[in-house]
């Protein structure tokens, strides 16, 4: 891990990740309304008629993850003026990655693949998985950039610098 360094302002990395967290969180809160989850129907096997799909759990999940992403994005925007804030930023960055992993797994947790087999367009699946992939990639990249040492490799207990 990189050592803590006191900063007087925000780095570009912090700003990008913070804005991503806030915008991504806002999207996850608005997605059930914008993508109209309430209009999704499935075929009832007994009556052979289309009935509204019960996506209340997905709605709640997306909204909760959206609020969490906004809070984590705001935490990354704190000015690094102490070791505590540095740790909070690191935890927030890991939290964004964890939220992304959760979003990628959520369609399987809520058995949405069963619903998707009856739909022409699997909107909740695609939305959650794409948002999850984006959160993992962006969060992982910025975690590596901000918190991992650059160019140092441990060799027999002595750090060496790789030059290209």
Query: Does any domain span residue 29?
Result: yes
Domain that holds residue 147: 12-161
Are the C-beta atoms of 55 and 123 separated by less than 8 Å?
A: no
Query: Does any domain span residue 101?
Result: yes
pLDDT of the residue at 74: 92
The residue that leads in pLDDT, 86 or 161, is: 86
Chain Cα centroid distance, residue 55: 20
Paired residues of 155 in beta bridges: 158
Query: Does any domain span residue 49?
Result: yes
Structural domains counted in the chain:
1
Query: Does any domain span residue 7?
Result: no
Structure-token match 């909070």, residue found: 88
Q: 155 pLDDT exceeds 80?
A: no
Query: Does any domain span residue 110?
Result: yes
**Would you state the torsion angle of the CA atoms of residues 125, 128, 129, 130, taken in this order, to the nearest 10 degrees?**
120
pLDDT digits (tens, 9 = 90+) for 64-100: 999 999 999 999 888 777 888 888 888 999 999 999 9
pLDDT digits (tens, 9 = 90+) for 13-72: 888 888 999 999 999 999 888 888 777 776 667 777 877 777 778 888 999 999 999 999
pLDDT of the residue at 102: 94
This model's pTM is above 0.85: no
Query: Does any domain span residue 4?
Result: no
| Burial of residue 13 (number of CB atoms within 10 Å: 0-12, 13-18, 19+) | middle
């Amino acid at each position: 891990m990189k050592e803590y360094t006191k900063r007087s302002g925000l780095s570009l990395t912090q700003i990008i990740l913070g804005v991503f967290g806030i915008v991504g969180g806002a999207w996850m809160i608005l997605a059930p309304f914008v993508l109209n989850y309430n209009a999704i129907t499935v075929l009832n096997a007994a009556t052979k008629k289309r009935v509204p799909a019960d996506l209340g759990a997905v709605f709640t999940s997306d909204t909760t993850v959206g609020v969490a992403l906004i809070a984590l994005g705001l935490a990354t925007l704190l000015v690094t003026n102490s070791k505590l804030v540095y740790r909070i930023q690191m935890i927030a960055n890991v939290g964004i990655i964890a939220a992304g992993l959760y979003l990628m797994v959520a369609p399987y947790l809520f058995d949405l693949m069963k619903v998707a087999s009856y739909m022409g367009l699997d909107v909740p699946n695609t939305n959650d998985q794409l948002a999850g992939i984006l959160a993992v990639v962006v969060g992982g990249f910025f975690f590596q950039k901000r918190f991992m040492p650059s160019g140092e490799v441990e060799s027999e207990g002595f750090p060496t610098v790789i030059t290209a």
